[in-house]
Structure 1
Amino acid sequence: MLFRGHGKGLAVIAVLLGMSASMSVSAKAGDVLYASLGEAARSPIGWVEFCAENASECRGGSSQPRDIVMSQTAWRDLLRVNKWVNEAIKPITDMDHWGVIEKWSLPTDGYGDCEDYVLLKRKMLIDAGWPREALLITVVRDKKGDGHAVLTVKSDKGEFVLDNQNENVLAWTETGYRFVKRQSQSDPNIWVSLGDSRPAVATASSRDR
């Protein structure tokens, strides 16, 4: 079972987040810190079906959007969670895993595709005390134009991306992706467009790691 033995790890993260530290990540001059939000967008079918089976993972949080204060400690914990999940989960397509084209699920058996990595990172951070409103599942187009899912972390220093294809946590402008849509901060079940109107289905391939 994937989560067995990691309660202590999550507790350590929660303790670390309570410590103050100076910020080691600074914005460069001319950086666009935040993505421009557009109109309401259709929720991915994978998210809708996931929520039908996992209602507790899809509850709305505070109606007041909250950003993370990106301290040095918070930054280290983002790197730790991103790296741990990327190494712990083995990539597999939904067709090979479940026999269907698209299925979002927490990767409790140790296998998943891009959105499953995102769901686990989101869960670990929420369980460690991070506000849901700052952890936004995001659909992008990767450098080959394929649909892909990442986790956007919205902070006072800008928006950063946790990605199963990169062990580093990058500013959203440094990923090379085209951002299509993501969850609203006010409600995880409302999605908003990010300027690319073409549909993108977040499916994985054998290289989706």
Structure 2
Amino acid sequence: LEIGDPSRNVIEKIFRAASTNPSKQSRKIKKVLRVSNTTDIFEKFEKYRETVKRRSFEQYKAGHPRSIVDGNELLQFHVTTMTCYNGKRKIISELCKDPSCCVCRLLQSGFTNSRDGIQLSTSSDVPCERASRFSNRKNVKRAVIVCRIIAGRVVNKDDINLEEEYDSVASGLHLRSQCLIVKDSSAVLPCFVIVLN
């Protein structure tokens, strides 16, 4: 998306508002790319939403209205790295083959490579372990994937009861930024990739 594009302006505002330190403007946005999801990805996402809504209605009729209405949809961030950025792309539809390009590998796999769930955050600048591993390489850009997610029933990591059903695990509920681990990759719909300087 070009500078001045209304969609880019909205994404930049959301990104800056979700920073744990909004007064620090050291991270400049180089580019905002729209993710071109396939029909299958959208259908998988909406099917998961309907499953969460139905399960929430059947099991928790009185206690989880957001899950019943929309599956508890949230906007979350996944901080990672990108090696294939060349400055010319406006949309991500063709993915590179570089095994160290985390953005393309995550989009290609539909986030399914995450064995322990998909780690997301309410903060646009909370780094994940994987991003730190590659960030010092040449031509590696920091990137933030902006995702719509179906959080469903969220439990605090300290309150997990293995006998209860839940869809996501949260930590940092009382901190400025909250991390969320989503169990099912169908719950994540990547929408934009923000490439940082």
Query: Scaled by the length of structure 1, what TM-score is found?
Result: 0.29
Structure with greater Cα Rg: 2
* TM-score using structure 2 length: 0.30
